[in-house]
Amino acid sequence: MFLTPPTLIETSKLKTHPSNPRYIRKEKLESLKRSITEDPDYMEHRALLVNPQMEVFAGNQRLRACQALGWEKVPCYVLDLDEEKQRRWMIKDNGHSGEWDQDMLANDGWDEQQLKEWGAPIDWEPDLNAADLSDEFSLPDGDKPPFQSLTFTLADEQAEYVRNALADAKQLEEFKYIETMGNDNRNGNALYFLVSQWVEQKT
């Protein structure tokens, strides 16, 4: 669609769109800043989309990151779209349809720290091995969140068997509809799914 290069516009002239439903947490903003600093030319390929009023309707978080980095100008495309289309593109710009293959991220040589810095959500557990794991778990003092972290000591062959079972469970259609009870850890939900299936069969 864009055959011409983006225009550099002063960040001081740009505003976040008042209808933007997205926000960014401090740690995510820091990750985005590091990503932009590492590859500044990336911004030219993900130029901000702004309306003639200089309101950003696609790229609000990138704008915040560039402003925090002290950028005086950022690449932009100025588009005169109606409000409905701006709002639609705003959602589409942030509505990521795909999901990360956590097993591939965990097993194909990706560096966990780099993935975190680049903004990829990490949802795998450390390798299960007898040296690092125990039967104990602990929660912080005071008001305790409704989650618990459990660790188990397994032989290498057992650990591999469990990892494969969790990976298989996450591929099943039924896994998409399990009750997560607010838990967003896919491995924990997969373990719960497998145990609940076993309990159903037992009863």
Instruction: Give the CATH number, domain containing residue 27.
Output: 3.90.1530.10
pLDDT of residue 158: 86
Q: Would you say residue 136 has pLDDT above 70?
A: no
Based on the fold, state whether residues 115 and 144 are members of the same structural domain: yes
Q: Would you say residue 5 has pLDDT above 80?
A: yes
pLDDT of residue 129: 47
Based on the fold, state whether residues 123 and 147 are members of the same structural domain: yes
14 compared with 43, residue with greater pLDDT:
14
Compute the average pLDDT of residues 103-130. 60
pLDDT of residue 105: 62
User: Which conformational region is residue 64 in: left (phi greater than 0), alpha (psi within -120 to 50 degrees), or beta?
Assistant: alpha
pLDDT of residue 175: 85
Polymer length of the chain: 203
Based on the fold, state whether residues 90 and 106 are members of the same structural domain: no
pLDDT of residue 46: 87
Q: Is residue 2 part of a domain?
A: no
pLDDT of residue 67: 93
pLDDT mean across residues, the chain: 78
Based on the fold, state whether residues 111 and 148 are members of the same structural domain: yes
Based on the fold, state whether residues 127 and 171 are members of the same structural domain: yes
pLDDT of residue 41: 87
Based on the fold, state whether residues 86 and 108 are members of the same structural domain: no
Domain final position from 30, 59, 94: 94
pLDDT of residue 99: 54
Q: Is residue 72 part of a domain?
A: yes
Supply the pTM of this predicted model: 0.50
Residues 22-35: tens digit of each pLDDT: 777 787 888 888 88
Domain span at residue 150 reads 102-202
- Compute CA distances 12 → 25, 38, 41, 54, whole Å: 22, 23, 20, 10
Q: Is residue 178 part of a domain?
A: yes
List the single range of 56-70, 88-102, 179-193 with lowest mean pLDDT: 88-102
List the single range of 13-17, 78-82, 89-93 with lowest mean pLDDT: 89-93
Based on the fold, state whether residues 167 and 142 are members of the same structural domain: yes
Domain final position from 60, 94, 128: 94
pLDDT of residue 81: 92
Compute the average pLDDT of residues 5-10. 93
Q: Is residue 1 part of a domain?
A: no
Rounded-to-10 torsion of CA 98, 56, 85, 5: -80
Count of structural domains within the chain: 2
Compute the average pLDDT of residues 180-203. 84
Instruction: In whole angstroms, give the CA distance from residue 186 to residue 179.
Output: 12
Cα(first)–Cα(last) distance of the chain, in Å? 59
Domain final position from 42, 75, 94: 94
